[in-house]
Amino acid sequence: MTNSSSDYLTVTQPAVAREKVNILMVDDQPSKLLSFEAILGELGENIIKATTAKEALECLLKNDVAVVLMDVSMPDIDGFELADMIRQHPRFQKTAIIFISAIHLTDMDRMQGYERGGVDYISVPVVPELLRAKVSVFAELHRKTRQLELLNMELRSLSGRLIAMQDEERRRFARELHDGLGQELTAAKMAIDSILLPGPGDFNRQAVEQASALVDGAIQQVRSVSHLMHPPLLDEIGLDAALSWYSEGLTKRSGIATAIELDPPDFPRLTPNLETMVFRIVQEALTNVFRHSAAKKCWVSVTKQENRLQVTVRDDGKGISSEIAAFNPESIGVGIGGIRQRIKEVGGMLTLRNAKPKGAILEAMIPMSDESLRAHQGSSNGKAASPSGVQS
């Protein structure tokens, strides 16, 4: 499977739009506000205007303001007094304030402006390029700070959900060990104990065969659990064999026909961390296809390009909502959220979109360096059958 497939959308996921920030301009002369608005219009930000201190405070309370441009000489309340009032509010203690004045130009005036919380002091006539440069710096700083706050909120939410998922996984493994492996071993012990009981004859062949079968069942369960947690094929042979083994197991359990394709066919070995990352991406994507897509077919491709890996999982199911495509924290699961964060940490990108005419596409782009490849040692990286005695 390649990206040129006609089943793919012709329009890719749009780039994230640049978030505009608010710039508040305070001056009692409307003509000056219009002049500053024309100068700052090239920045592409939201411009808010106020002609009095009262209007300025109302604007601050209603909006998240990145920068305040403030005239020092205003009737009733001057710029210095207004700055004092702004700084008294906890929300605005770090808001950037730039004073503009055509009268108060001495060093003492500038010092007073800085003491009132100003981050800069510009004299009139204003040089347009200088004003734009200074405002853009503080606007971009505010934008990055806001993005960091949102990212921290997302990480805290993801962390909490991850802890809950880990607890649920522990409960699930405990149930499987108790209900499956525990019962098998208990029955095996009872069969062995029956051999030791005095009775007609010194050898109970039926009890021995029963105990042997129960121990075989316990061994298979242990192998199944351990292989699902981390398939040894991934370390011993490589991605092709591990992905083929996992997809075959998924097809047996769900009936979803799954095709695996690696490009180039002689796919090279990668570092253990990178191979594990790719396997987990496919594993999580196929799990979501099984649980949520109502699909009948699924295609997986892993393509090695010049300096990156492209992992694509496509299904013919019912598709995804716009909230999931936008990675809304309330809409996506912990698995996809964790994988997305892991990919972002290595400089990669994960996208979700709907396929055409139906279904969904998960695509991961992972950057590669020369160190990501490692010499292939041992057997060839061809497809291998599932290990004997392992339930897929």
SS3 string, the chain, reads CCCCCCCCCCCCCCCCCCCCCEEEEECCCHHHHHHHHHHHHHHCCEEEEECCHHHHHHHHHHCCEEEEEEECCCCCCCHHHHHHHHHCCHHHCCCEEEEEECCCCCHHHHHHHHHCCCCEEEECCCCHHHHHHHHHHHHHHHHHHHHHHHHHHHHHHHHHHHHHHHHHHHHHHHHHHHHHHHHHHHHHHHHHHHHHCCCCCCCCHHHHHHHHHHHHHHHHHHHHHHHHHCCHHHHHCCHHHHHHHHHHHHHHHHCCEEEEEEECCCCCCECHHHHHHHHHHHHHHHHHHHHHHCCCEEEEEEEECCCEEEEEEEECCCCCCHHHHCCCCCCCCHHHHHHHHHHHHCCCEEEEEECCCCCEEEEEEEECCHHHECCCCCCCCCCCCCCCCCCC
Pick 172 or 242 by higher pLDDT.
242
**Mean predicted confidence (pLDDT) in 53-58:** 87
> At residue 36, does pLDDT exceed 70?
yes
Question: Among 1.10.1740.10, 3.40.50.2300, 3.10.250.10, 3.40.1080.10, what is the CATH number of 22-126?
Answer: 3.40.50.2300
pLDDT in tens, 85-108: 888 887 888 888 888 876 766 667
- pLDDT for residue 198: 60
Pairing of strands 96-101, 120-123: parallel
Pick 339 or 188 by higher pLDDT.
339
- pLDDT for residue 370: 65
pLDDT in tens, 214-224: 777 777 666 66
> At residue 197, does pLDDT exceed 50?
yes
Q: In the chain, what percentage of residues exceed pLDDT 70?
A: 73
> At residue 233, does pLDDT exceed 80?
no
> At residue 385, does pLDDT exceed 80?
no
- pLDDT for residue 142: 85
**Mean predicted confidence (pLDDT) in 149-159:** 76
Listed by start position, the domains of the chain span 22-126, 153-224, 231-372
**Mean predicted confidence (pLDDT) in 230-244:** 80
Highest mean pLDDT out of 1-5, 206-210, 237-241? 237-241
> At residue 118, does pLDDT exceed 50?
yes
**Mean predicted confidence (pLDDT) in 281-301:** 90
Residue range 231-372 forms a domain whose CATH class is alpha beta
- pLDDT for residue 296: 93
> At residue 170, does pLDDT exceed 70?
no
